[in-house]
Amino acid sequence: MLELENNIYKKGYQYIACIDEVGRGCLFGDVVACAIIMPQGSLIQGVKDSKKISPKKRDILYDIILSNAIAIGIGRVDAATIDDINIKQSTRLAMKFAVENLKNRLGEKISPNYILIDAEEIIIDIPQESIIKGDDKSHGIACASIVAKVYRDRLCLEWDKKFPIYNIAQHKGYGT
């Protein structure tokens, strides 16, 4: 799962931000994107598309990914904005915010010089590549998918406390 990243490193790029989103098909809540820069050659055992991993395993991998990442950025777009500009544009905006929010463990802003995105494109002045099924083909995109999913699932737990009647903790905002 490192072939895509390795080919980009061979071209001289140093910081590859890999991006994925979650919440695009939800009926409730924000769309959340994660941009992540992993160390070159980093391969965390068990990382794959977040949809193919149990919640318990995702939580474990989330902590491992955070402790290994060079930089992580989260982007969120709320339901009102989704209603205003549509889900596709909101997804792209969340992804752009995630790149703009990339920071290392010290809180210092990190700017990528290349972007790998799961099946999407964003308007930003950085070379990028859209990869269909990227979370199955790129280790970095799979890491981003896990971080975005765990982050949004934790938001759902907060929303569930505010709106317990909707049982958001169980369905995570997806149609039931």
- Dump pLDDT digits (tens) for 148-172: 999 999 999 999 999 999 999 999 9
pLDDT at position 138:
97
For 86, the 3-state DSSP assignment is coil
- To the nearest 10 degrees (0 to 180), the angle between helices 139-162 and 55-68 is 120
* Mean pLDDT across 139-154: 98
In angstroms, the CA 3 to CA 88 distance is 28
Confidence of residue 1 (pLDDT cuts 50, 70, 90): confident
Closest by alpha carbon to 31, among 71, 88, 69, 100? Answer: 88
Token output for 102: 């990339």
φ, ψ of residue 43 in degrees (nearest 5) = -135, 105
Q: What is the dihedral of CA 62, 8, 130, 125, to 10 degrees?
A: 100
The residues that bridge with 117 in the sheet, in sequence order, are 19, 130
pTM for this entry:
0.96
Confidence of residue 88 (pLDDT cuts 50, 70, 90): very high
In angstroms, the CA 86 to CA 5 distance is 31
Spans of all domains in the chain:
3-149
Dihedral of alpha carbons 121, 21, 52, 38, sign: positive
Contact 146, 58 (CB under 8 A): yes
pLDDT (tens digit, 9 = 90+) per residue, 39-56? Answer: 999 999 999 999 999 999
pLDDT at position 53:
97
Dihedral of alpha carbons 48, 94, 91, 115, sign: negative
In angstroms, the CA 144 to CA 48 distance is 10
CATH class of 3-149: alpha beta
pLDDT (tens digit, 9 = 90+) per residue, 101-136? Answer: 999 999 999 999 999 999 999 999 999 999 999 999
In angstroms, the CA 157 to CA 7 distance is 39
* Kind and range of the H or E run holding 172: none
pLDDT at position 11:
97
